[in-house]
């Protein structure tokens, strides 16, 4: 028997629990996710020494996180779109389209853009970037390098690329690499650095932001689309109930993988709030324009941007 965290008020999910029981799923003991946070904080205090980080609500050493996150994404690689459909109520496709439109790749005359899409293994953002550059701006020279630390996610992206119109065009490249250190990427070489629904899984987000700053050319743009923090108390309570009560259970029923989906919803709760992440981008050396972020769907997700000074 395992213990999982959900939001209080689990009565609303009784029918789903009954269905899981009928399907003979593993028995689960639930507890409030606020209790999980408090327990995680106590665990962190007990660890005391060494470099630690979080894997969802679990406090672990940094050395452990890369392996554990890798296992999660190896598990969900083939059901990546389904995963995001569950976690965003299906709206992630609209967010991604808006994200790409707002960046308007290929909009400048002359040479095409050099785009680096990090944690983009399946190509979800990269294909949209190339579609926009080609179809909207008539740019057939913009290229995207897809970098991911997970070989299974990259394999999924390569499979999709072969079935796309960009196969054998030289406009898509795949690189296996860690966002916190990318020696294969030259400094000052990238026009646009994107990361969508990936940065919350990085072990050292500050190191990744500094690396993004390094590879971007002066005037280049860092752009991040990530699940964030809802800005309405009532909506937040409803969203938490959905996230912690339903998503892991549906992940178990649909994908046969409860633990991966449990981690993914916990990782959202652990991700810095909008203002804190904006400050982290500034601390990495970026100029942060205006508010620095755009909330989507009441803050379920946000777009963050930074510009490398000229």
In the 8-state DSSP scheme, what is residue 112? Answer: P
Which segments of the chain does DSSP mark as H helices, in order?
A: 14-22, 33-47, 62-76, 80-88, 92-103, 124-135, 151-162, 205-215, 233-245, 247-255, 258-270, 274-283
Mean pLDDT score of the chain, rounded to an integer? 80
Element (H, E) at 194: strand 190-196
**The tokens of 60 are what?**
């672990």
Least confident of 156-165, 200-209, 252-261: 252-261
Mean pLDDT of all residues in 277-304: 95
Tokens standing for residue 81: 């779109």
* Local confidence band at 278 (pLDDT 50, 70, 90 cut-offs): very high
Q: What is the pLDDT of residues 202-256, one digit of tens each?
A: 989 999 999 999 999 999 999 999 999 998 888 888 888 887 888 888 778 776 7
Q: Point out the least confidently predicted range of 40-49, 123-132, 143-152, 270-279.
A: 40-49
CATH number of 91-229+275-310: 3.40.50.150
CA–CA dist 137, 114 (Å, integer): 15
Annotated binding site for S-adenosyl-L-methionine: 122, 148, 178-179
32, β-bridge pairs = 6
Q: What per-residue confidence (pLDDT) applies to 265? A: 82
Write out the binding residues.
122, 148, 178-179
Confidence class for position 174, pLDDT limits 50, 70, 90? very high
Q: Where is pLDDT greater, at 50 or 91?
A: 91
**Burial, 254: exposed, middle or buried (Cβ in 10 Å; 0-12, 13-18, 19+)?**
middle
Cα–Cα distance for residue pair 198/221, rounded to 1 Å: 17
Question: Is pLDDT above 90 for 53?
Answer: no
């Amino acid at each position: 028997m395992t213990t999982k965290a959900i939001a209080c008020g689990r009565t609303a999910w009784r029918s789903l629990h009954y269905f899981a029981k009928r399907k003979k799923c593993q028995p689960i003991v639930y507890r409030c996710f606020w209790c999980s946070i408090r327990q995680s904080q106590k665990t962190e205090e007990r660890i005391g020494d060494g470099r630690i980080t979080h894997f969802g609500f679990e406090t672990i050493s940094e050395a452990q996180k890369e392996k554990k996150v890798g296992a999660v994404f190896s598990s969900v690689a083939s059901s990546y779109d389904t995963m995001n459909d569950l976690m965003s109520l299906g709206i992630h496709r609209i967010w991604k389209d808006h994200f790409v439109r707002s960046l308007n790749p290929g909009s400048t005359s002359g040479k095409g853009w050099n785009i680096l899409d990090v944690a983009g293994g399946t190509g979800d953002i990269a294909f949209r970037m190339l579609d926009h550059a080609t179809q909207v701006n008539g740019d057939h020279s913009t290229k995207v390098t897809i970098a991911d630390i997970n070989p299974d996610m990259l394999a999924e992206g390569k499979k999709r690329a072969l079935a796309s119109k960009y196969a054998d065009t030289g406009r898509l490249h795949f690189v296996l690499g860690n966002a916190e250190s990318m020696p294969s990427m030259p400094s000052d070489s990238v026009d646009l650095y994107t990361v969508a629904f990936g940065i919350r899984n990085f072990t050292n987000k500050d190191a990744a932001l500094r690396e993004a700053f390094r590879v971007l050319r002066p005037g280049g743009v860092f752009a991040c689309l990530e699940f964030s923090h809802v800005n309405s108390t009532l909506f937040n309570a409803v969203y938490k109930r959905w996230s912690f009560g339903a998503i892991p259970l549906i992940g178990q029923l649909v994908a046969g993988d409860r633990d991966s989906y449990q981690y993914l919803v916990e990782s959202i709760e652990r991700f810095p709030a909008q203002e804190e992440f904006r400050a982290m981008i500034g601390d990495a050396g970026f100029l942060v324009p205006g508010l620095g972020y755009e909330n989507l769907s009441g803050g379920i997700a946000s777009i963050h941007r930074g510009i490398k000074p000229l």
